[in-house]
Amino acid sequence: SLIWGSGIWLLYLLELAVLVIEGILYTKLLPRFSETPQNRGKIAGYTVAANLASFAAGLWLAVLIPGIF
């Protein structure tokens, strides 16, 4: 199956790594450089939502157009 076959698990691990790195960077840097106060919980929620949406779109494209990646 596409979800677990042919090394796709590596994509899951890489996406998780990206999510963690982006979450750390956003929650540390965005409040520092923003002119208005930022809620760290909302920043983390945005990070998770954006990464999940991006990953789901990538999986959908991989099913729709085999060999695109």
Q: Give the tokens for residue 16.
A: 């998780």
Residue 11 has pLDDT above 80, yes or no: no
- CA torsion, ordered 3, 56, 48, 51, to nearest 10 deg: 110
Higher pLDDT, 69 or 2: 69
Q: What is the pLDDT of residue 58?
A: 85
For the whole model, what pTM was predicted? 0.71
- CA torsion, ordered 30, 36, 39, 43, to nearest 10 deg: -40
Spatial contact of 59 and 2, defined as CB atoms under 8 Å apart: yes
